[in-house]
Amino acid sequence: MAVREMAPKANGEACGVCGGRTYVIERRGDQALARTCECSGNCSVCGGRGHVLVEREAEFSQKVGPRRYEVMEQCVCTQRRTRISRFNEVGLPAVVSHASFDNYRAFNEAQDRGRGVALHFAHQYVKGGPSKGFILSGPVGTGKTHLLAATLGHLVLELGVRGRYVEISLLYATIRRGFQEGKSGGEIIGPLSEVEVLAIDELGKGRGSPFEMETLDELIARRYNAGRTTLFATNYSLEPEKRAVRSAAPTGYRTTEDARSAARDADLLRERVGERIYSRLCELCTFVELPKDTPDRRRTRQEMDAPMHHAAGGSRTLGR
């Protein structure tokens, strides 16, 4: 997640604060927000004017031939401020303020593929052009939100793309609050429908009420019809399991296998969002599924830290 301009120190080394990226991403409240690094506060290119004269060459007629001319263009410092401002509109949660492709840790081949899909998408994305998104499926704590954040950060800070991030259950809550303030759901969904790249996290989460299904259907339908790129992350499986056709059980009776089958169905994304939305996802996205046994990184970190805390506690006891 870096703007192309690099900011060296006076001795030629990269800034120790931003690493030469010219910006810093920090946790402020519940959001990840960016600011210009102090090393780039005074622009040495434009002297603070915000624009520069650039020489161009073009042929306006065969008779005259190539001619050189000067045009006024935005300086890199103005471009950086614009991109930082757009990044601060994305709405990324503070917990992923550190997220990048470089610090994503893969525990298995599927996670490595997930990183590769997201990285390829980010680096091959053409601003304003059609682009197929991706959907990451896997257990909690496997880095899906990390990859969404890394992707959006690259698109916004490197390419100047307008992007947004939403956690689906929080979107539902925002719309419900909007109803109390006299707003329609369309007023809230509208900007999300029009943004160039939207990342929807926790797809399938919720009660599955008619309101939630209609909201999700409208949002995805609008983006689908407009040909806009959408990225997703979900805890529900993408692959429908093949089931043998069984004879119907007597009314009011449910076999153990029926119950197990229903439980498995509840873990499928297509059961959570419906066939219409799932069908569109198949066209809109590259599917990446992480195995159910992929380690929960948050839990693994906690379990690794626990023995250290116990050992420290024991030492204090022995010292008394």
Reduce the DSSP state of residue 163 to 3 states and report it.
strand
Closest CA to 174 of 195, 188, 191: 188
20, pLDDT greater than 60: yes
Better-predicted residue by pLDDT, 61 or 234: 234
* Per-domain residue ranges of the chain: 89-241+255-300
- Could you give the CA distance from residue 187 to residue 280 in angstroms, rounded to a whole number? 23
- Could you give the CA distance from residue 136 to residue 142 in angstroms, rounded to a whole number? 10
For the stretch 153-164, pLDDT in tens is: 999 999 999 999
Beta-sheet pairing, 31-36 with 23-28: antiparallel
Mean model confidence pLDDT for the chain: 83
- Could you give the CA distance from residue 221 to residue 82 in angstroms, rounded to a whole number? 30
Reduce the DSSP state of residue 233 to 3 states and report it.
strand
The single-letter code of the amino acid at 199 is A
Closest CA to 166 of 128, 110, 223, 115: 223
CA 16 to chain centroid: 27
Q: How confident is the model at residue 13 (pLDDT cuts 50, 70, 90)?
A: confident
Q: What are the Cα distances from residue 132, in Å, to 60, 87, 125, 165? A: 38, 22, 9, 17
Topology (CATH level 3) of domain 89-241+255-300 = Rossmann fold (3.40.50)
Residue 315: predicted pLDDT = 40
Positive or negative: CA dihedral 170, 118, 14, 52: negative
For the stretch 36-79, pLDDT in tens is: 999 888 888 887 788 888 888 877 777 777 888 788 888 888 99
257, pLDDT greater than 90: no
